[in-house]
Amino acid sequence: MDSTATESGAQMPVNEQTGMGPIILFGPPGAGKGTQAKVITEKYGIPQISTGDILRDHVSRGTELGVRAKAYMDQGQYVPDQVVCDMVAERLTHADCMKGFILDGFPRTVAQAEWLDKYLGNRVFDTLKQCRPAVVIRFVVEYNALLQRLTGRRTCPTCGRIYNVHFQPPRVPDTCDVDGSRLVTRKDDREDVIAERLKEYEQQTLPLAEYYRKCNRLLEINADQPVEVVTAEALRAIEHGHSL
Ligand code: ADP
Ligand code: AMP
């Protein structure tokens, strides 16, 4: 593994084995980003950076950031850009990111995307010859399917595995297949909060699709298909990038 300093001074991850750059998973809540991120993480040995998970960890530990973020998260609103960008900047300094990384749920606003481009170096996608461009994979799922996915979502508080009472039920109800922990329902997976989260997505995140499309970095996949089919399409997008 190696790393290359960009104009902004940020160390760009370069995976010499795969030539892989950052992978950005883009889509509404419930689209399956976390589910797919876990498969990609295992396949390529690169970390999943989920801003939602990092924020929930802060909330559960009661840190100053967590207390501040909770007020937004409980209402389904976005945490301010600066808070999230600082958090991501800190996470990207960890050694495991040098091999490449998956961003799950970040960036979520145009301001965050601009910040990320600057952080990684403005022309990184053109200048970093040995590294493939960042792949931005958009998961497209229609509204009613999202509602069903979110209300049926259960997660393991110990290993983070994601289940769904309708589509991916655990072998024993409410119990993690891997470690036997009792599954939990996220506090923001309630219908009133879900509606607000989907509204935030439409208003603040959808414009990002245009941002990435304009610079030819957006790959769209139909995520309204069985998990394994979506995985196959996501891996094809990662490995063949813009020739998909
Ligand atoms: P996100 O990270 O985008 O919010 P998740 O990966 O947590 O989404 O998935 C949301 C819910 O939908 C989970 O309960 C998950 O088990 C389920 N799910 C994910 N992908 C699919 C799929 N392709 N088909 C049906 N259900 C899915
Ligand atoms: P998620 O786990 O991705 O569904 O995120 C859960 C919640 O965390 C969101 O509803 C937001 O309140 C907050 N959050 C996560 N990522 C971001 C982000 N990139 N920008 C702003 N808020 C975020």
Residue-wise pLDDT for 145-199, tens only, equals: 999 999 999 999 999 999 999 999 999 999 999 999 999 999 999 999 999 999 9
Q: Is 12 in the pocket of ligand 2 (CB under 6 A)?
A: no
| 79 CB-near residues (< 8 Å, 6+ apart) | 55, 68, 69, 72, 73
Q: Is the pLDDT of residue 138 over 60?
A: yes
Say what percent of the chain tops pLDDT 90: 75
Q: Are strands 2-5 and 11-14 parallel, antiparallel or unpaired?
A: antiparallel
pLDDT band at 120 (very low <50, low <70, confident <90, very high): confident
Residue 65 CA to ligand 1 center (angstroms) comes to: 27
Identify the three-state secondary structure at position 43: helix
97 pLDDT band, cuts 50/70/90, is confident
Tally of CA atoms within 13 A in the half-sphere of 177 that contains its CB: 9
Q: What is the pLDDT of residue 123?
A: 41
Question: What is the average pLDDT score of the chain?
Answer: 88
153: annotated active-site residue = yes
Give nearest CA residue, ligand 2 atom 3. Answer: 52
User: Which range, of 4-8, 75-79, 106-110, averages the lowest pLDDT?
Assistant: 4-8
**DSSP code at position 15:** -
- Segment 206-212 shows an average pLDDT of 95
- Top mutation candidate among 153, 161, 184 for ligand 1, by most atoms within 8 Å of CB: 153
Query: Which ligand is closest in space to the CA of residue 52?
Result: 2
Which residue CA neighbors atom 20 of ligand 1 most closely?
32
- What beta strand segments (E) does the chain contain? 2-5, 11-14, 23-26, 48-50, 102-104, 135-140, 153-155, 162-164, 218-222
Distance CA 117, CA 125 (A): 9
Backbone torsion region of residue 143, taken as left when φ is above 0, otherwise alpha when ψ lies between -120 and 50, otherwise beta:
alpha
pLDDT of residue 3: 42
Atom of ligand 2 nearest to the CA of 108: 19
Q: Above 60 in pLDDT, residue 125? A: no
- Annotated active-site residue in 56, 91, 99, 108: 108
Of 92, 81, 94, 96, nearest to 121 by C-alpha is 92
Q: CB of 230 closer than 6 A to ligand 1?
A: yes
**Residue of 38, 70, 149, 153 marked active site:** 153
- Ligand 1 close to Cβ of residue 30 (< 6 A): yes
Residue 2 confidence (pLDDT) above 70: no
Q: Whose alpha carbon is nearest atom 18 of ligand 1?
A: 32
